[in-house]
Amino acid sequence: MDKHKRIRELILKEFSNQKVQKAYERLTRKGLWKSEKKLFKKYFKKGSVVLDIGCGSGRTSFGLAKMGFKVTGIDITPAMIKTAKRLSKEFNIKIDFLIGDAVQLCFKNESFNCALFSFNGWDQIPGKENRLKALKEAYRVIRPGGFFIFTSHVRHLRGYFWLWVKQWIKFYILKRLGFNVKEIEFGDRLFKEASEEMYENEQFIHIPKLSKIKEQIREAGFELVFYDKRNTIAPEDKKLKSGNCTMFVCKKPGKS
C-alpha cells in the first residue's frame, strides 16, 4: 500500500475546493510577491525559458510572463490548471499550462533555463524521498548554470515551540502506544483551521528542518547560493496572510 496515497488525495481535494480556487484566483490577480520579483530579476537571465512547478492558478507564471520570460506551468491539481487556462485567455498571456507531478516531470533533460516551486508547494509533497525526487527532477530539467527557486516553512525559524512539543508527544509517544496518529513523518502537520476563510478541508504540510532542506538540496546536485526569510528579502504587504516562509535559491553547477 502506498503510504502517501491518502495525503495526496487530501491535497487534490484541498486545492480543488471552490473557495480555495476563488482565493487563488484573487491571489493570481494580485501577482508576484515583492521578494519574488527581486529574486527573479537577480537570478533568472532575461529571456529565460522557465518552468513553474506547482503553478496553481498561475500567480507566478503570469508574473514571470509579464517580466518577459517564456513560461510553462504545471500543477498536480486539475482544477488549478483549468483556472490558469481560463485566466490565460482573459489576460491574453500565452502560457503552456499542464497537469503534472513535480515528483515525475514530463519534460526532457535540460528543457528549461530555470525553474521555481513557489509558495510552499514543495512542503505539500508527502514523504522525504518524494521531496528529494522533486528537487532532483527540477535539477534534471534545467540547464547547467540555471537557477531553481523554491520556498519552504522552516521548522526552527517559525518559532512554534509548543506546537512542536505537542507534535513530538503525538508522534513519538502516542503513536508508539497505538493511538491513531495520521502524520507519517515528524514535521508533518495534518490540521483543520476553523478560522481560515479559504480552506474547508483538512490540510497537509510538512515543515522540515533547515539542515534537512540543505542536505536535500545538496543531494539533488544543486549548490545553495542564497536563502532568507521572505519578508527580509523584501517586506510584503501586511495584508498578505501567507506567513513568512523562507526562500531558497539553488544553482545547477556549470556555465549557462
Ligand X SMILES: C[S@@+](CC[C@H](N)C(=O)[O-])C[C@H]1O[C@@H](n2cnc3c(N)ncnc32)[C@H](O)[C@@H]1O
User: Given the rule CB under 6 A, which residues bind ligand X?
Assistant: 11, 15, 24, 27, 53-56, 59-60, 75-77, 80, 101-103, 118-121, 124-125
Residue 74 or residue 217: which is nearer to ligand X going by CB?
Answer: 74
CA nearest 130: which of 247, 138, 189?
A: 138
Determine contact, residues 110/139, Cβ cutoff 8 Å: no
Q: Which residue's Cβ has the minimum distance to ligand X?
A: 56
Smallest distance from ligand X to CB 158, Å: 16
Torsion of CA 239, 244, 245, 248, to 10 degrees: 100
Smallest distance from ligand X to CB 151, Å: 9
Residue 131 or residue 251: which is nearer to ligand X going by CB?
Answer: 131
Residue 59 or residue 153: which is nearer to ligand X going by CB?
Answer: 59
Smallest distance from ligand X to CB 134, Å: 7
CA angle at residue 73 from 243 to 137, to 5 degrees?
85
Residue 244 or residue 256: which is nearer to ligand X going by CB?
Answer: 244
Longest dimension (CA), the chain: 57
Question: Cα separation of 86 and 59, whole Å?
Answer: 13
Smallest distance from ligand X to CB 103, Å: 5
Question: Cα separation of 69 and 62, whole Å?
Answer: 9
